[in-house]
Amino acid sequence: MRSQASNAIARFLCCALVCGLPCSATAELGAGEGETSDHSSDAALATGDEADLIEQLSAIGYLAGTQQAPDAHGVTHYDSHRAASGMNLFTSGHGPVALLMDMRGEVVHEWRAEFAQVFPDHPRLKREKQPRRNYWRDARLFPNGDIIVLWELFGLFKLDRNGEVLWAVPAPVHHALRLTDAGELVHLQAERKMIDGIAHKRAIEDFIVTRDASGKELQKLAISDALRNVNWPRLRKTFWARAKERGYRLSEKKVYDPFHTNSLWLLSKAEAARLGNVFRAGDALVSMAMLDTIAIIDMKRGVTRWSQQGPFGMQHEPRPTLDGNIVLFNNFLTSERSSVITLNPLSRRVEREYTGPVSEPLHSSRSGRVQVLANGNTLVVESEGGRALEITRDGETVWEFRSPFRASGREDIVASLYSLERVDLSLTSRLNAEAREVEQAEER
């Protein structure tokens, strides 16, 4: 069995290098039942040779870093009059840490926890020595300084402001984590299984999972079920035709990930109203990169209210705008260029598109984020380049950050910037006060 798995890994890696296969980041096997918050259950996670194979598949693409580090770093541009106020919470490929940074680039707080500290009984504990996974993918901040963190493919956990573990749930989570007004957690999770519409082999099913504030699972909705009423197998056929025409450099026979759901947003009442009468608060706006499709899903009924395939490709992070549109990070404008697209969901037409200046075009072949800010600006995260920029409606840059962090063991490679979110000052007041107290004590 071990020999067969090793041979399969070798064959797949060779194909991936030739074909440019993106990460099947949702491909960690084993969304079983019985997850707990006390580290006592291994049932949710795969062990043995097959798990080793799946991790090899899932590790390709979303790496700690891929691009040459630039000379400049930190906040390189800041127009304080036109940039949105707040702090910046971010995670990157340089390590298991989340940082809170002010608008001028000063770090005011840090949360850090090693894998063995968070998941001491995890069946994949040996992975802590593998730099490609030794970082956090997403984090959410609470007013008291606690954070909830998504460690991709391995689990969710909550830390207090001092970095002490409050609870942890081992599970094959990935990409995105949201908090509801009711205090629940909603995230993406994966399981390798037979899926109706995918013949002859197990593939990666994505789920939208809802948990209570302690991490207990409340609801689990399969993406294949939610997309059934829009005929996702037909979308998949169209995707592979587009992949060939647009030069995605993918091999259909070697991809185990039919959806690659990579982002999640829960509509507020105001956002749903701006998008149209058919939508409701709590609907999930999601992106499926391996379908070139975004969709709005009715979480109560488990069906799709609206969907659109293209003109974007391998996209990430669709978000509702203040004027009733949807903005997203379009990874594949061309093979060497990305863009930020604003779509009208009713006409399905592109209203605006930002590609960056000719001297420095926007480009991140994998990952990438957008955030609609309170002043109408858009915060754009160019993940592979380790860069974030805030742009106006007219595409003018009013704030820019270039990560000073490097991928583990590579001083020449910038760490991928996987999440950077502008958070309101009301969420950081306690941490800001603590930082000022420390500064005053040091001055004395």
Residue 25 contacts residue 189 (beta carbons within 8 Å): no
Extended strands (E) in 242-336? 261-266, 284-288, 293-298, 303-309, 316-320, 326-334
Q: To 10 degrees, what angle do helices 2-19 and 49-59 make?
A: 10
Residue closest to 26 by CA, chosen among 53, 48, 50, 58: 58
Distance CA 115, CA 149 (A): 12
Residue type at position 182: A
Backbone angles phi, psi at 340, to 5 degrees: -110, 115
Asked whether the whole model's pTM tops 0.75, one would answer yes
Specify burial of residue 181 (Cβ count, 10 A radius: 0-12, 13-18, 19+): exposed
Distance CA 396, CA 189 (A): 37
pLDDT of residue 124: 72
Segments of the chain scoring below 50 in pLDDT: 1-61
pLDDT of residue 257: 86
Strands 417-423 and 74-78: unpaired
pLDDT of residue 436: 67
Residue 416 contacts residue 367 (beta carbons within 8 Å): yes
pLDDT of residue 443: 63
Q: Is 221 left (phi over 0), alpha (psi -120 to 50) or beta?
A: beta
Alpha helices in 247-400 (DSSP H): 269-275
Find out whether the peptide bond into 311 is cis, omega within 30 degrees of 0: yes
Residue 405 contacts residue 92 (beta carbons within 8 Å): yes
Handedness of CA 296, 302, 305, 311 (dihedral sign): positive
Distance CA 320, CA 95 (A): 31
Residue 14 contacts residue 141 (beta carbons within 8 Å): no
pLDDT of residue 61: 47
Across the chain, how many H-helices and E-strands are there?
7, 27
C-alpha pair distances (Å), 154 with each of 82, 115, 120, 243 = 40, 9, 12, 30
Q: Tally Cβ neighbours within 10 Å of residue 70.
A: 14
Distance CA 138, CA 157 (A): 11
Q: What is residue 195's three-state secondary structure? A: coil
Distance CA 227, CA 287 (A): 12
C-alpha pair distances (Å), 50 with each of 46, 57, 192, 205 = 8, 11, 11, 16
Distance CA 67, CA 416 (A): 8
Query: Which residue shows structure tokens 């969709």?
Result: 295
Distance of CA 416 to the CA centre of its chain: 12
Residue closest to 376 by CA, chosen among 393, 389, 394, 390: 393
Residue type at position 225: D
Token representation of residue 119: 């998941």
